[in-house]
Each structure stands twice: as C-alpha cells, then as structure tokens.
Amino acid sequence: MKVLIANKNDINNAISMQECIDVMEETLTLLAKGDAYNPLRDSMHIPDKNGLLGTMPGHINKHSVFGIKAVSVYPENAHIGLDSHQGSVTLFDATNGVPLAIMDAGQITAVRTAAVSAVATKILAKKNSTTLAILGSGVQASSHVEAMNAVLKLDEIRVWSRNKDNAINFIATQNKKYGVPFECFDSVNDCAHDADVICTTTASVDPILYGHHLTEGVHINAVGSSVYNTRELDGSAMQLCQLYVDKKESAINESGDFLIAKQEGLINDNHIIGSLGEILTNQIAGRQANTDITLFKSLGLAVEDIATAFFIYDKYKNNNDGNWVEFG
C-alpha cells in the first residue's frame, strides 16, 4: 500500500487557483444537495499557550473518499515568522478505509479558503466590481489577491495592515505578479471606503471592520476569524450585512463574528440567509440589488480540504507522478 505525501510545493504544482475555484464550486453544490457530509469540528486548547488543535472530518460520496484535517492555530505566529495555521490533511478510500494521501494542511488551507471566497464573490458581489480592499498582509491576503483577480476585472487593489511595513513589503511582492495598481492605506476607513469587495484576512482577536466603514453595495469576504471567541467585524457591521456562510450549522456554533454579535443582541440565527451551496443550487437568492451589503463569513469546512486533496491525489496518480511512500 503506497500513500502520496504532498508538501507545499507539490500542492502548488498540482492545482491552480482557477482549478481550485471550480473544485470548491462543485463541493459546495454537493454539500447543499446532501452528497457530502461535514460534521462539526472538534478542538483542544493547548494548556498555557495561545493555541489550539482542531480536528475536522468529512466525507464526499461522489469521490468515495473521506478524510480528516488536523490543524494547529497559533494567532501569534506572525510575530515569529510562521503561519498561524499548520497541520495535515489525511485522505482515505471510503470503500475500504485505506489511507491514500497525507498533505500539508497549510497550503491546502491557503488555496481553498481563497477559492471559496472567489466563489462567494462570483455569486454575491456586484457584477461591475473593480476595486478590492485587502485587510491583512499574510498568507491569506496573498491568496485572496490571486483569487479575486481570477473572478474580477480589477483596476485598483488597496491594502491595509496593522504593521505598515508588512503592507509595504506585501505590495512590493504582489506588484510583480499582477498588472493592477496597489496602494497602501494607513486606516481601515480609507482603505474600505467605496471599495466594491473587501477581504478581511487578519489574525485579529478584536474587530477591525466596523459598520461605519461599509459603503452601500460592498461585498465582504470575512475569513480571518475561525473560532467562537474572536472576530474581525463588529456587531454593527454584522447587523448591516446580508449574511451568507459555508454551512449554517458551523456558523451558529463556531463563528465568533456571528456569535459575539448575537450575544450583543444585535442579530439572531435568522440573520443567516443561507449557504453558498444553497445559492448555487437555487434554493435561496443571493444579492438582490446593487445597494445590498453582502457578507460571506468563511469558517472553512473539512469537505473543502478533502475535495482539494482528492483533486491533487487524483492528478498525481493519473500522471504516475509524486512522492509515494510504502505504508504497512
């Protein structure tokens, strides 16, 4: 029995952003139709550390695979030059339980998170959106610039980061990749004002984006907070938005952006209109008017990781390529 081992470079070489966007659109559709299963994740806080270990299982019937993502989340890693999310995705054959692949979770998370935001932007942002505001300057900021360029015809990309030097360095790197002008901003208010799409990609524990920052018609992809007790958007921002999620059950149990605003009495469970998959399968409506403020609150789902891992596994297997290790 041979198992595929895929590191960051292997993943980058096997799946493009556009391919991942297509895979995520299919996966969200399967989930909405009941052809994929994604239970709530479990987590363990690390004693005496500002970190946790999350375990996230899922199953995709179409591909006859299941898997589990085990990932550590250390928000302060940015201060020591490490990614905040690290771990592995393990893929299994659902017919016999045999392990098929072990892959770097950090890189899968980077590409699939941005790809899901791209799906959300395709179906929720105004069709003539040209101005992008990126809040953050890390891995997800970079992935989201790539993903937004894949689905929008951008003519301006704005960047804000709590550390201005990081924002300047980020822009210097990104300028080499895209033929779109970048601009660094000193405040969230100036960065977000009149933007068509805002992506919040920070490791912030407390809100960075407030209701008074939002302009009519904006679409927001909020991806930085993935636990119940942190948030990037304050309650007034949540209250203003038409809220869509990757999975409602996950949002009402795990999303700090949603749960803290709910605890403040500003919104309730009915504030969630539905999931991206429900829009894709025509079960619910998306944006209704150019003045709507839409929000996709991303938590990330195991089935997204598993679908990405399966695409990579299948490509290496079919091409008779990759790093395969004998197990058992």
- The whole-number mean pLDDT for each consecutive block of 10 residues of the chain, a chain of 328 residues, reads 96 98 98 96 88 94 97 84 87 97 95 98 97 95 97 97 94 91 96 97 93 96 88 95 96 92 96 98 96 96 97 97 92
Separation between Cα atoms, residue 261 and residue 267, nearest integer Å: 6
d(C-alpha 237, C-alpha 231), whole Å = 11
Range of the domain at 267: 117-300
SS3 string, 85-100, reads: EEEEEEEEECCCCCEE
Beginning with the edge strand found earlier in the chain, give each strand of the sheet holding 242-245 in spatial order: 182-184, 156-160, 131-135, 197-200, 219-222, 294-297, 242-245, 272-275
Give me the number of domains the chain comprises. 2
Distance from C-alpha of 90 to C-alpha of 288, rounded to nearest angstrom: 40
Query: Do 97 and 180 sit in the same domain of this protein?
Result: no
Q: What type of residue is 137?
A: S
102 shares its domain with 185:
no
pLDDT for residue 216: 96
Q: How many other CB atoms are found less than 10 A from the CB of residue 282?
A: 8
The pLDDT, as a whole number, for residue 83 is 77
Radius of gyration of the chain (CA): 19
Is 83 found in the same domain as 186? no
Task: Please indicate, yes or no, whether residues 96 and 123 belong to a single structural domain of this protein.
Answer: no
Q: Are residues 220 and 307 in the same domain?
A: no
Contacts of 75 (CB under 8 A, 6+ apart): 50, 51, 84, 203, 205, 230
Residue-level pLDDT at 322: 96
- Check residue 209 and report its DSSP letter: B
Q: What is the CATH number of the domain that holds 314?
A: 3.30.1780.10
Query: Both tokens of residue 218?
Result: 């904006």
Same domain, 210 and 284: yes
Residue 136 amino acid letter? G
Give me the pLDDT at residue 79, please: 83
Q: Where are the alpha helices (DSSP H) in the chain?
A: 8-14, 17-33, 105-124, 139-151, 164-174, 188-192, 235-240, 248-254, 256-263, 276-280, 302-318
**Based on the domain organization, do 146 and 262 belong to the same domain?**
yes
Considering only CA atoms, which of 140, 177, 34, 111 is closest in space to residue 312? 111
User: Are 59 and 152 within one domain?
Assistant: no
SS3 call for 306: helix
